[in-house]
Amino acid sequence: MATNSDWAVEAHGLVKVFGENRAVDGVDLSVRAGTVYGVLGPNGAGKSTTISMLATLLRPDAGSATIFGHDVQREAQIVRQLIGVTAQFASVDEKLSATENLIIFSRLLGLSRSQARRKSAALLDEFGLTEAATRPLAKFSGGMRRRLDLAASLIAQPPLIFLDEPTTGLDPRTRSQMWDTIRRLVNEGSTVLLTTQYLEEADQLADRIAVIDTGRVVAEGTAEELKASVGESSLQLRLADGGDVDEARRVIRETLGVDAVISPEAGRITAPMADPDRVTDLFIRFRETGIRLSEMSVQKPTLDEVFLTLTGHGVDSDSVAAETIQKEEVHA
Ligand SMILES: Nc1ncnc2c1ncn2[C@@H]1O[C@H](COP(=O)(O)OP(=O)(O)OP(=O)(O)O)[C@@H](O)[C@H]1O
Ligand SMILES: [Mg+2]
């Protein structure tokens, strides 16, 4: 199959309208072959809908997209052979065991019986499911199902893999295994387009990131570029003497060149920290001016802060809480 294009994905002005709702409202994306591309956005931003259009599962209302140069609408059959899709929700058979599910998928994809068995065992091992391999899925926890679903999508290793929130609901250990797997896929020549709500995940994996919100790309760039746009991190200080607040603020402006935010809580100050190197100067100045600190810490920007800065609103905290509930693992 022809993959002789530098671009795994090129999308221009993609639009999908559901009734009154412009779920995807003119999205442009360019994903270079052989890279990991992260689509970062809050619930309802249009991430899954965008993937569905790129994966030929949903027809765009406007705009166009090509996968390795093949048009998703006119050449849908070719596109389907170039891609693998992991949907956000599992699509495996409840009554069968993990091994049986994977073997069926493998056989459907044309692997021989022995190849199917080998591939299934290797994937179950990679996703930490070996011990549970013979258990019917009905007895799997949410996190285990999620892992199996991902394993199933990786049997055929297509040139372009869409992973829709691959680590939502996974525990931290499994999440980092998943990251290793994604890196392996790319080392072996695949291109990965993943969606995520976690800034850290995009940061760890993605060569470039598009931040989408209400159906539009609101920022695009490397993780470094995006973080720089919200400030690398912030410095949180508590003064031993709350009466020093004004003086401390003045010293911060002089040494860091930024305006500190004074918290209503006595003596608490937050300052954006664009250049960590200059913080040493700040502490020296504090000592010289007799300002004493009782606490200090450095906070990385959270996903919330990135969204706040880029979109003017944060991630919907209710929906994040709902996602967190899925994390519970049942140890049957
Ligand atoms: N089949 C559909 N019919 C009607 N509306 C839909 C449909 N699919 C998605 N939507 C709406 O389109 C918008 C974008 O949804 P989408 O699933 O693409 O968001 P998302 O970024 O994947 O969110 P999440 O992080 O929650 O998965 C939402 O307002 C959603 O309610
Ligand atoms: Mg989604």
Q: What is the pTM of this model?
A: 0.74
How far is Cα 252 from Cα 65, in angstroms, rounded to an integer?
49
Higher-confidence residue: 233 or 106?
106
Ligand 1 pocket mutation, candidates 16, 22, 27, 48, criterion most atoms within 8 A of CB:
48
Tell me the per-residue pLDDT of 62-78, one tens digit each, with 9 for 90 and over. 999 999 999 999 999 99
Multiple choice CATH, 227-311, 3.30.43.10, 3.40.50.300, 3.40.50.720, 3.30.70.790: 3.30.70.790
- 3-state class of 159 per DSSP? coil
Question: Is the pLDDT reported for residue 322 higher than 80?
Answer: no
In this structure, the number of other CB atoms found within 10 A of the CB of residue 13 comes to 14
How far is Cα 296 from Cα 85, in angstroms, rounded to an integer?
45
Give residues whose Cβ lies within 5 Å of ion ligand 2.
47-48, 88
Look at residue 265 in the predicted model and tell me its pLDDT: 76
Question: Is the pLDDT reported for residue 195 higher than 90?
Answer: yes
Q: Which atom of ligand 1 is nearest to the CA of 212?
A: 21
Q: What is the DSSP string of 28-80?
A: EEEEETTSEEEEE--TTSSHHHHHHHHTTSS--SEEEEEETTEETTTTHHHHH
pLDDT-derived band at 295 (thresholds 50, 70, 90) equals very high
Domain positions in the chain are 7-221, 227-311
CA proximity to 160, closest of 82, 78, 81, 86:
82
Tell me the per-residue pLDDT of 102-151, one tens digit each, with 9 for 90 and over. 898 888 888 899 999 999 999 999 888 888 888 888 888 877 887 888 88
pLDDT-derived band at 59 (thresholds 50, 70, 90) equals very high
CB 48 near ligand 1, within 6 Å: yes
Higher-confidence residue: 265 or 159?
159
- 3-state class of 90 per DSSP? coil
Strand order through the sheet with 36-40: 83-86, 160-164, 191-196, 36-40, 208-213, 216-221
Per-chain mean pLDDT for the chain: 84
Q: Which ligand is nearest to the CA of 18?
A: 1
- Does 227-311 match 7-221 at the fold level? no
CB 49 near ligand 1, within 6 Å: yes
Distances in whole angstroms, Cα of residue 107 to Cα of each of 86, 101, 148, 153, 314: 18, 10, 16, 13, 45
Higher-confidence residue: 316 or 145?
145
Q: By alpha-carbon position, which residue is closest to atom 5 of ligand 1? A: 18
What is the mean predicted confidence (pLDDT) over 190-214?
A: 90
CB 226 near ligand 1, within 6 Å: no
Look up the CATH architecture of domain 7-221. Answer: 3-Layer(aba) Sandwich (3.40)
